[in-house]
Amino acid sequence: MAQNQQTMMKKQMSMQASMGMASSRDNLLWIGGIYGAIATAATLALIKHKTIPLPMRIPLVVIPIPGAYFYDMAYGSKMERIRRHQHHILEHEKHWFNNQEVDEAIRLQAANVDWTGGSN
């Protein structure tokens, strides 16, 4: 029974992680689409007026920042870095938590999960 619960827990954690990645990829598509529309409008304004209006310049600079964040979350190594930070916090910053039994169970649980997507 404990093995079955652990298997179900791993599946649930994998589902949550994949849902987060899918959400980041969807956000990246939206940000890319909006940025593409603004860049197209800015290019047309540049061709027609020889300058880009200030209200179009600001998004051209600002939008790539969350775009880079979502790209790193969806396709980069951000999830792995978050997992390493979580492990470090659980190992070295126990003063943030009150219940040591729960902390130890979570730490062991995190250490036993295969975060690469393979099976244990």
Dihedral (CA of 7, 11, 17, 18) sign: positive
Q: Domain check: are 65 and 37 in the same one?
A: yes
61 in the same domain as 94 = no
| Mean pLDDT calculated for residue range 32-56 | 94
Domain residues for 42? 1-76
- Same domain for 25 and 66? yes
pLDDT at 72 over 90: yes
Q: Of the segments 1-10, 57-66, 73-82, which one has the largest average pLDDT value?
A: 57-66
Pair 45, 52: CB distance under 8 Å:
yes
